[in-house]
């Protein structure tokens, strides 16, 4: 009777990653992996923080100055 050697979780993960990369190719493998990156922080709070320094009129002036350059 043949036995299969026990693989650690890390070994299984590595083999899975290698199979995905081989099957998908490097670019698609990267795109696939990016689907699982949840990021960090609170985007809404961060955005509201840096947007407080701008007013609608200020943004319109900046847009107009770029369009007229």
18-55: per-residue pLDDT in tens?
999 999 999 999 999 988 877 788 888 988 888 888 88
For residue 68, pLDDT over 80 is answered with no
3-state secondary structure of 59: helix
Percent of the chain past pLDDT 70, that is, above it, reads 97
For residue 1, pLDDT over 70 is answered with no
- Tell me how far CA of residue 40 lies from CA of 5, 12, 36, 37, in angstroms: 38, 27, 12, 9
For 3-15, the pLDDT digits (tens) are: 888 999 999 999 9
- Calpha distance 19→37 (Å, rounded): 20
Using only the alpha carbons of the chain, give its radius of gyration.
24
- Tell me how far CA of residue 64 lies from CA of 14, 55, 56, 59, 67, in angstroms: 53, 14, 12, 9, 5
Query: What is the reported pTM?
Result: 0.47
């Amino acid at each position: 009777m043949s036995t299969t050697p026990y693989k650690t979780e890390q070994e299984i993960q590595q083999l899975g990653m290698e199979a995905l990369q081989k099957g998908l190719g490097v670019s698609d493998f990267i795109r696939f992996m990016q689907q699982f990156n949840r990021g960090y922080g609170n985007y809404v709070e961060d955005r509201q923080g840096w947007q407080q320094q701008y007013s609608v009129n200020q943004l319109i002036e900046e847009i107009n100055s770029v369009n007229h350059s």
